[in-house]
Structures are given as C-alpha cells and as structure tokens.
Amino acid sequence: MSTKTKNRAAKYLLLIVFIATICLPAKSFSQEKTKISLQYGSHREGKRTDADMARWRGYGLGQFIHWGVYAIPGGHWDGKYYGGAAEWIRSWEGMPNAEYDKLYKQFNPVNFSAAAWAKQAKNMGAKYVIITTKHHDGFCIWPSKYTDYNIKNTPYKKDILKEIVTAYDKEGIDVYLYFSIIDWNHPGYQAGTGITPEDRLNWSNYKPFKTDEEKTRYATFKEFTRNQLIELLTDYPTAKGLWFDGTWDGAWMKEFAWVDQLEKELRAMRPGLIIGSRFRADENGKRGFDSNGVLMGDYEQGWERDLPNSIEDVHGNDWDCVMTVPENQWGYHSDWRGYVKTSDDLIEMLVKSVSMNGNFVLNFGPDGKGAIRPEETKLAKEIGDWMKINNEAIYGCTYVNLKKQGWGYYTKKDNKIYLTVINRPINERVNIEIPKGGLKPIKAYLLENKKTADIINRGRNKQNSSLYSIAIPTEYKSNKPFVIVLEVGGTEEIKEAYQQAKT
Ligand code: FHN
C-alpha cells in the first residue's frame, strides 16, 4: 500500500471512530428505558377517565377525621405527656398496652353528633371526608362481626360509622373509609421484620417472619382483613372509596400477590370504587409507584403533611395532600405544642394543591367525648367563610400553564382563570405573563364583589410573551387571600395551553 493510500485509510478510520463516538452515546441516551415485566405492578397507564374519578378530581377540599379510643388519653398517660402523634400513644413505653386495650370500656362520646360534624364540614366547604374506621390500634368504630374490639362493646354501643356515613351523605359529602392494615390488637397480626437496604435490592429473599408459626398466624390476619374490608363495603354501600394506611409493613408488602387479588375482588364488588396508591407493593417491593415508576392505584397518596413544589413533581397523576393542623397530630392531643397552622396557611395550601391538580384534605381529631376542639372549629369557620366567597376558584378547577408569580396561584375552569392573591403586591398590581399564542385576557374582576379590575398591557418580553398587570381596585381591602377572575378568549385556547402543559 502506498503512503498516500495508507494516509487516506487512516483518515477514514479516524472519521469512523469520530462518528461512532458522537453517535453511540446519543443512541444509548435516546433509547427508551426498558420496561420491567411485572405481574403485580400497576394495572393501568394514565389516569382513570370514569365519572366517579372525575367527581373525585373536582372535590378540591376534603376533611380527614382521626377518631378512636386514643382520643381518651389525648396524648397523656399517668400524668405524663406523650410527645408523639396522639393516635400512636399505645406504642409508647409510658403507656402499658393492657391499659390501652381496656380504654374502649370507657368510650362513651356523649357530645358526639354526626349531624353537627357533617354540618360543620359542609360549612367549611368540604366535598369529601375520610374517616378512620380502624387505626393501627385495631379498634373498630363499626360493629364488626370479626372482632370484639369494636364500638358495640363500648358504653356507647351504637354504630358510629353508620351515623357518620348517614350524616355526611345527607349533606352531600362523599365518604371514604380509612383502614389501617396494621392492627396491634389482632392476635395474628405482626409487623414484618425491618426491611434493610439489602432486602430492597434482593426483595425475593426478604423474609418477613422468623418462624413458620408466625407465618401461619399472619394468614389468619389476612383472612380477617379481607373479611373486614368486604364487611365495610357491604354494610356501608354509599362509601366511595377506601383510604389505606400502614402498608409500609414488610409483612404486608411481601403479600403482594394476595393483596393484588384482594384489590381486584374489592373493585369487582363495587364498580367505581376509588383506592389510592398506598394499598399494595409490586413483586419487587416497590410501593406507591411500581418498578417501572407507574402509579399503583387511582391517585397518589404520597403527599402527607407535604405539598409538591411544582406541577412536574406530580408527574401528571391525580393526588391528594393530607394535612395536620399542628406539625404532626392526627388523633386528639389535648396539648398541641409547636406551630399551629392558621387559616391563611391552610387556605394557601388548599389553593396551591388545586393549582397543581390535587385535592387538599384537612385533618380533625375530635376528643374522647366526641367534640371537635375549639381551635379546629375556628379554622373550619374561617376556611368556610373564605370558601363561601371563593369556592368558584376551587371546585372543579385545574392547573394553568402560566409562569408562577410571587403573588399567589392560578387555577382555572372553562374560560376563567382564577388568580388567588396570597401576597398582595405593594404596587397593587398583579402581574401575569402569557406565552406567545396563549390565552388572551378579556376582562378581570374581583370574585368577591365583581368590581372590575383594569387590565394593563405591558407589551412583550424577549421571549415574545405578553405581559399584563391586573390593577387591584384601589378601594378593595382584604385581610384574607382574595381572588381575581380573568376571563380569557375561549375554551379552544385554554385547551391548547393545557395540552402544552402535559407535553
Ligand atoms: O401512622 C399514621 C398516622 O397516625 C396517620 O394516620 C397518618 C395519616 O395519613 N398516616 C400514618 C402515617 O403515614
């Protein structure tokens, strides 16, 4: 080979290596992540599209109620203060289990009025309630025929769950049944051994029980759990869904095939039933989202005492946020310590949730006599007063693809965009930025009194977005968050913008 030919060959070789270097990584990056084949993963891609789920999506605001025998000690035992969440007091070394397990004999909530609770929830603006039928202690607020540890054997005797379901149904508030699959009272229940990081990597080898005897006992608990769930769906036929808790337990997670079958059975019993993402794990020990990252269940239940920061955080899923009034108390604790949220805090969380397509659920922990504590009653009233004026910006509203601004949050319905102003700007102007080809503002007014708010066109920015300021009417004073309604040019344009948000 001549030197010239050799040089040319070397050049070609270099070129091939160069092209390969550029192309190969590009190809591997563009390759789709391979999907793991799963038998017990999510059984659906994308959101549910039926009417029951559409109704759930439109709720906006819900109420959570944690009520059980833990409300009697209210976070104290033997003169000592328990600093944990009141409903967990049985797990505290200061509380003898035998004493706790006798508390039901004193459960006589003479101040309980399901009608009053439901009325208060209605006035607050709640569209659904999640009620603890059984928390981790195992006490049932319905007369379950599968355990004696239930309301029938208390001095109160009556079926509290029935009273609640009837009263809330009457107010048009949908009922969801909270159910803990941890049950400290059932002889067959035992928590799985702690899950180590190695177990997570090698889930098929994870053994939740130390002995076969434990495994046999747990089988009786599984049957009991199934019976109770069927009982609940049979005896409370208007309940719209089940809200599961305690499913982080390794024993439960390891029963993925059985739980999957149970979920199918429950769904078959009640078409339209709504179950969140906390019920079961897949065969690799992944909960909430399966090994392929797909949501397990109808909506994400991962936002407990926490909110997403942006729409990206919710990955296009339905979700709800459940929130406590103090930092972390669900059941009644007579001595709330630390920061207690104000109605302004909670209203902001509510609007923020809806602005990212979520529902906001506020927790109440009635006391051992059945009264809702004054602090919660005050909050319910303040939120209700706000909702009476502004609920149009909440119910049935969804996310808007507009750049977040410091004054607050956008929500929308049909051709209206709602601007909930949390931080009133010092210049009395609420700025918005509308991307090229987006919605055209037509008119703006205050939701509270329909007073016109001037729309000031501030031209375009470098990205060709239209800049507007909405002038808050000068005479309008408000010491609460308030809403400006912005009517925009037609549904078609909104649809288009919404589509963009999803891509
Ligand atoms: O342990 C419970 C807690 O007591 C409370 O019921 C909350 C409500 O979402 N869930 C569990 C913690 O995730």
Q: How far is the CA of 394 from the centre of ligand 1 (A)?
A: 26
Please tell me the predicted confidence (pLDDT) of residue 28: 38
Beta carbons of 167 and 122 less than 8 angstroms apart:
no
Q: Report which protein residue has its CA nearest ligand 1's atom 9.
A: 304
Amino acid sitting at position 76: H
Q: 235 in ligand 1 pocket by Cβ < 6 Å? A: no
Please tell me the predicted confidence (pLDDT) of residue 19: 46
What is the DSSP secondary-structure string of 52-73?
HHHHHHH--EEEEE--SGGGTT
Q: Which of 90, 245, 252, 301 to mutate to test the pocket of ligand 1 (most atoms within 8 A of CB)?
A: 245
Q: How far is the CA of 243 from the centre of ligand 1 (A)?
A: 11
Strands 416-421 and 429-434: unpaired
Return the half-sphere exposure (C-beta side, CA atoms, 13 A cut-off) of residue 407. 23
Dist. CA 130–CA 46, nearest whole Å: 24
Q: Supply the CATH classification number for the domain 408-491.
A: 2.60.40.1180
Dist. CA 446–CA 310, nearest whole Å: 26
Q: 249 in ligand 1 pocket by Cβ < 6 Å? A: no
Q: How far is the CA of 121 from the centre of ligand 1 (A)?
A: 21
Please tell me the predicted confidence (pLDDT) of residue 29: 41
Q: 330 in ligand 1 pocket by Cβ < 6 Å? A: yes
Dist. CA 71–CA 371, nearest whole Å: 10
C-alpha angle with apex 409: 483 to 449, nearest 5 degrees? Answer: 5
Q: Where in the chain is the domain with CATH 2.60.40.1180?
A: 408-491
Domain covering 52-77+84-393, topology: TIM Barrel (3.20.20)
What is the tally of helices (H) and strands (E) in the chain? 12, 17
Q: How many angstroms from the chain centroid is the CA of residue 270?
A: 22
Q: 86 in ligand 1 pocket by Cβ < 6 Å? A: no
Helix (H) or strand (E) holding 416: strand 416-421
Give 236's contacts (C-beta < 8 A, 6+ positions apart): 142, 161, 162, 165, 175, 177
Write b or e for each residue in 445-477: b if 16 or more Cβ atoms lie within 10 A of its Cβ, otherwise e: bbbeeeeebeeeeeeeeeeebbebbbbbbeeee
Dist. CA 267–CA 110, nearest whole Å: 36
Dist. CA 276–CA 265, nearest whole Å: 16
Dist. CA 69–CA 72, nearest whole Å: 6
Q: Which ligand 1 atom sits nearest the alpha carbon of residue 88?
A: 4
Q: Report which protein residue has its CA nearest ligand 1's atom 1.
A: 246
CA dihedral (496, 497, 501, 503) positive or negative = positive
Q: 87 in ligand 1 pocket by Cβ < 6 Å? A: yes
Q: Where in the chain is the domain with CATH 3.20.20.80?
A: 52-77+84-393
Q: Report which protein residue has its CA nearest ligand 1's atom 3.
A: 330
pLDDT in tens, the chain (503 residues): 454 555 565 555 544 544 444 344 433 344 457 899 999 999 998 999 999 999 999 999 999 999 999 999 999 999 999 999 999 999 999 999 999 999 999 999 999 999 999 999 999 999 999 999 999 999 999 999 999 999 999 999 999 999 999 999 999 999 999 999 999 999 999 888 888 989 988 999 999 999 999 999 999 999 999 999 999 999 999 999 999 999 999 999 999 999 999 999 999 999 999 999 999 999 999 999 999 999 999 999 999 999 999 999 999 999 999 999 999 999 999 999 999 999 999 999 999 999 999 999 999 999 999 999 999 999 999 999 999 999 999 999 999 999 999 999 999 999 999 999 999 999 999 999 998 888 889 999 999 999 999 999 999 888 888 999 999 999 999 999 999 999 998 433 433 444 454 54
Please tell me the predicted confidence (pLDDT) of residue 34: 87
Q: Report which protein residue has its CA nearest ligand 1's atom 5.
A: 330
Q: How far is the CA of 88 from the centre of ligand 1 (A)?
A: 9
Please tell me the predicted confidence (pLDDT) of residue 494: 39
Please tell me the predicted confidence (pLDDT) of residue 463: 84
Write b or e for each residue in 243-273: b if 16 or more Cβ atoms lie within 10 A of its Cβ, otherwise e: bbbbbbbbbbbbbbebbbebbeebbeebeeb
Q: How far is the CA of 245 from the centre of ligand 1 (A)?
A: 7
Candidates 146, 305, 172, 159; CA nearest to 229 is 146
Q: How far is the CA of 87 from the centre of ligand 1 (A)?
A: 9
Please tell me the predicted confidence (pLDDT) of residue 358: 98
Dist. CA 122–CA 168, nearest whole Å: 8
Helix (H) or strand (E) holding 419: strand 416-421
Q: 320 in ligand 1 pocket by Cβ < 6 Å? A: no
Dist. CA 252–CA 182, nearest whole Å: 9
Q: How far is the CA of 79 from the centre of ligand 1 (A)?
A: 25
